[in-house]
Amino acid sequence: MNADDLLTLSPVLPVVVLHEVEQAVPVARALHSGGVRVMEVTLRTDAALEAIRRVAAEVPDVVVGAGTVITPDQARAAADAGAAFLVTPGTTDALLDATVDTGLPVLPGASTVSEAMRLAERGFDRLKFFPAEASGGVGALSAIGGPLPHLRFCPTGGITSDSAPRYLALPNVACVGGSWLTPKDALAAQDYARVETLAKEATALGTEAATATT
């Protein structure tokens, strides 16, 4: 799998924060039942690496990756845990080198034209735009597409089910990252049926965006 393959797995890349390892497999299965075949587990909790390990081992139909990768050690640990891809909120030379060394597809984060150009110089043309809403949202990404039409983005940060279609309608957006598919209260209540329903709604967003651009 490469970055292009990753960006086509779902119109919405679920950004999942797990505080309990036991939630990992039920969440992955609920997302899959809703038509979403990918999930990004953020490395913001102590449960994250083991959660990635369990999903990779027990739910092979879901492509699980690591998000919020901010250090070289995290990149290596995520790869060792079985992550199929890495996502960073921003980039440094050391972090980029470490992610490349893992051999995994990477979505490095950028929020400015200069950062995007620098990543393109390093050979990355599939990027994360973060924090999307705080960095200008749809208008900013549309403007970036003018001078940098060869780059494609997965915007993340503040995007909702209401705003997602506007991002997906942009020619330089392949998918969006969203945390709304796995809301904190649903996970706390082990309401995986709700996660499945939200996944089904997210899957439909791709069809809506395609219709809007034709």
- DSSP characters over 91-128: --HHHHHHHHHHT--EE-EE-SHHHHHHHHHTT--EEE
Beta bridge partners of 129: 110, 155
Is the pLDDT at 34 greater than 70, yes or no? yes
Closest among 135, 138, 115 to 127, alpha carbons compared: 115
Contact (CB, 8 A) for 189 and 26: no
Confidence of residue 214 (pLDDT cuts 50, 70, 90): very low
Is the pLDDT at 22 greater than 60, yes or no? yes
Give the model's pLDDT for residue 119: 98
* Residue span of the structural domain in which 89 resides: 3-212
For 29-48, what is the mean pLDDT?
98
For 178-191, what is the mean pLDDT?
96
Domain holding 20: CATH number? 3.20.20.70
Give the model's pLDDT for residue 132: 98
Is the pLDDT at 42 greater than 80, yes or no? yes
Number of domains comprising the chain: 1
For 164-193, what is the mean pLDDT?
97
For 193-209, what is the mean pLDDT?
88
Confidence of residue 209 (pLDDT cuts 50, 70, 90): low
Confidence of residue 201 (pLDDT cuts 50, 70, 90): very high
CA–CA dist 77, 83 (Å, integer): 9
Tokens of 121: 């110089």
Beta-strand ranges (E) seen in the chain are: 12-16, 38-42, 63-67, 86-87, 106-107, 109-110, 126-129, 152-155, 176-178
pLDDT 10s digits, 104-149:
999 999 999 999 999 999 999 999 999 999 999 999 999 999 999 9
pLDDT 10s digits, 54-73:
999 999 999 999 999 999 99
| 20 is annotated as an active-site residue | no
Give the active site residue among 40, 133, 184, 196: 40
| 128 is annotated as an active-site residue | yes
Give the active site residue among 20, 115, 121, 128: 128
Confidence of residue 39 (pLDDT cuts 50, 70, 90): very high
Confidence of residue 208 (pLDDT cuts 50, 70, 90): low
